[in-house]
Amino acid sequence: MASRIPEIRKAIDAARHPALLLVDTVSSLACIDYRHDEWGVDVSLSGSQKGLMLPPGLSFTALSEKAMAAMKAARLPRSYWDWQQMLRDNAGGFFPYTPATNLLYGLREAIAMLDEQGLDAVFARHARLAEATRAAAKAWGFELVATDPREYSASLTALLMPAGHDADALRKLILERFDMSLGTGLGKLKGKIFRIGHLGDFNDLMLAGTLAGIEMGLALARVPFRKGGVAAALERLAGS
């Protein structure tokens, strides 16, 4: 689910609550429009391995003035997590520790690829793939975890399994049979949902292959579903 950050910001402000607003953008940065400054986020975190199309190994932090003031006032002893060292060294183009150099070269290329395509086109591509994924879910007769269309995510779609069927057993069957790894449910959703990633360097035919793996997996796992999810997604993709 995509959080409605500007509204959360407004709610915090309306309540005059002093909390910092932290946003985890690992699965959404460079997939969905996101505005750290404009939306008044205090701390934005991200990683290299999703929308930035790199191997895992880099993380990113963006800070507001308010977050920096909080850092200065904080009394928790810290060293590695002390942003001041990083801010000071970054100013001169350096890092306080040996960075993952190879990934920085990769990042330069990833950003060039995103710029070449244009961020608006990247966001539109992900929105379109998400829409086709939801069309498949609907055709299968599966409910989405996100019930509010304003919270539909353009990078991940989570589906609820029919009651009495284990999502993780389905995931395991699909991994073994089709070499495809779906996301698991975390915490109280464990076993009850599975997540379909359609983010990063991803296109129509990769989504078709993904949904085909799920449709065949559902049949093989004898999970009750209506056929036609892939067909519904293709209809949507060819029509838009």
Tokens 């389905």, located at residue:
170
Tell me which of 6, 10, 99, 112 binds its own copies, using CB under 8 A: 99
Q: Which residues, at least 6 apart from 65, have a Cβ–Cβ distance to it below 8 Å?
A: none
Strands (E), the chain: 22-24, 43-47, 59-63, 156-160, 183-184, 193-197
The yes or no reply on residue 101 touching its own copies (CB under 8 A) is: yes
Alpha carbon 65 to its chain centroid, in Å, reads 26
The yes or no reply on residue 228 touching its own copies (CB under 8 A) is: yes
Classified as helix, coil or strand, 145 is: coil
The yes or no reply on residue 20 touching its own copies (CB under 8 A) is: no
Tell me which of 22, 74, 169, 220 binds its own copies, using CB under 8 A: 220
Q: How far is the CB of 42 from its own copies (least distance, A)?
A: 18
The yes or no reply on residue 183 touching its own copies (CB under 8 A) is: no
The token duo for 2 is: 């995509």
Closest C-alpha to 4, from 28, 18, 15: 28
Q: Which residues, at least 6 apart from 139, have a Cβ–Cβ distance to it below 8 Å?
A: 226, 228, 229, 231, 232, 233
Tell me which of 43, 213, 223, 225 binds its own copies, using CB under 8 A: 213
Tell me which of 98, 120, 164, 222 binds its own copies, using CB under 8 A: 98
Residues of this chain, 34-63, that bind its own copies according to CB under 8 A: 47, 49, 55-57
Interface stretch with its own copies, choices 32-40, 84-92, 160-168, 199-207 (CB under 8 A): 199-207
The yes or no reply on residue 76 touching its own copies (CB under 8 A) is: yes
For residues 48 and 118, give the distance between their C-alpha atoms in angstroms, rounded to a whole number.
Answer: 19
For residues 122 and 110, give the distance between their C-alpha atoms in angstroms, rounded to a whole number.
Answer: 12
Q: How far is the CB of 225 from its own copies (least distance, A)?
A: 12
Closest C-alpha to 213, from 167, 182, 169: 182
The yes or no reply on residue 173 touching its own copies (CB under 8 A) is: no
Binding site for its own copies (CB under 8 A): 47, 49, 55-57, 76-77, 80-81, 98-103, 178-180, 203-206, 208-210, 212-213, 215-216, 219-220, 227-228, 230-231, 234, 237-238
